Amino acid sequence: MTAQHQSNPAMHSAPEHVALPAPTAWPAVLALGLTLMAAGLLSTNIVSVVGIALSLVAGVGWARQVLPHDRHEMVAVSAAPVQIATPHRKVTRMAAVQAAPHRARLPLEIYPISAGIKGGLAGGVAMAVLAMFYGIVSHGSIWYPINLLGAIVYEHIDVSTAQVEAFHIELLLVATVLHLATSVLVGLLYGAILPMLARRPILLGGVFAPLVWTGFLHSILDIVDPILNQRIDWWWFLASQIGFGIVAGLVVVRQVRIPTWQYPLAARAGVETPGMMDEENNHS
């Protein structure tokens, strides 16, 4: 009898009525009273007095609604079948994440740190060649752009053109360190962002990033390096940045990408774990 009583479908049918808290306007009246109390601090005392009175009345009225027992009202329930319809005939999935873990984070693969370093060094060489070529064309000296970069530290250099075109060992060392450090850092940045636009390395690294970087330097260069700001050719500087971006982007995207840490340790280690291998491997 007990089993039949539990399996009776009528016992699991939806109820005809449900008990809901009785509606009341006292919370709204209490909120109005508190608002008037605060408004009276900026206007007149009469407003605050009215607010206090409303708050007291609302507090008593609300308390009578819930004490000593909550007031409820019975609401009729009208059962209606719920139909879920979708215009899509089947679930579409991204081809790149069909075999990925649940709720995979994109991108699934990233470039290693070495890719960013290689791209930064290659782009730095390309930028240095373009900068020295500009020095030869415009001033007949490869030291001209090097001295301007090194003047960030050695600001005591004579601003005359003859001194800027001359060779200075200390400026060469400072410019080399700054150029290498900046190139590696920017290369690491390229390695981090290029997986998001892997098919557009020239657009992102060779056009968009140089434009943003050049605009940023144009706004602060007068503070960082006044000598360079006085003598810089911004069009040629932008061309050098584009050369850096194109070379660095192409070098980075040619490197082998590695899975991100969202993959389980067994999958990254290549261990044949049940539930992680492809169906083809399981059937073979």
For residue range 72-123, list pLDDT tens digits in order: 888 888 777 777 777 766 655 555 444 555 555 666 777 888 888 888 899 8
Which amino acid does the sequence have at 267?
A: A
Please tell me the predicted confidence (pLDDT) of residue 247: 87
Rounded CA gap, 146 and 132, in Å?
A: 8
Report residue 32's pLDDT band, with 50, 70 and 90 as the boundaries.
Answer: very high
Please tell me the predicted confidence (pLDDT) of residue 89: 67
pLDDT in tens, 186-238: 888 888 777 766 566 677 777 787 888 888 888 887 777 777 777 778 888 88
Phi-psi sector, 220: left (phi>0), alpha (psi -120 to 50), beta:
alpha
Report residue 277's pLDDT band, with 50, 70 and 90 as the boundaries.
Answer: very low
Q: What is the pTM assigned to this prediction?
A: 0.49
pLDDT in tens, 36-52: 998 888 888 898 899 99
Please tell me the predicted confidence (pLDDT) of residue 35: 92
Does residue 155 carry a pLDDT above 80? no
Rounded CA gap, 218 and 11, in Å?
A: 77
55: its two tokens:
């708050």
Please tell me the predicted confidence (pLDDT) of residue 52: 92
Please list the residues that pair with 76 across neighbouring strands.
17
Sign of CA dihedral 85, 90, 95, 101: positive
Please tell me the predicted confidence (pLDDT) of residue 104: 59
Secondary element (H or E) of residue 53 = helix 45-66
Report the SS3 class of residue 4: helix
Q: What is the DSSP letter of 68?
A: S
The 3-state secondary structure of 97-118 reads: HCCCCCCCCCCCEECCHHHHHH
Please tell me the predicted confidence (pLDDT) of residue 238: 86
What is the mean pLDDT of the segment spanning 137-149? Answer: 82
pLDDT over 70, % of the chain: 71
Please tell me the predicted confidence (pLDDT) of residue 93: 55
Secondary element (H or E) of residue 21 = strand 17-21
Rounded CA gap, 81 and 193, in Å?
A: 49
CA end-to-end distance (rounded Å), the chain: 53
Report residue 267's pLDDT band, with 50, 70 and 90 as the boundaries.
Answer: low
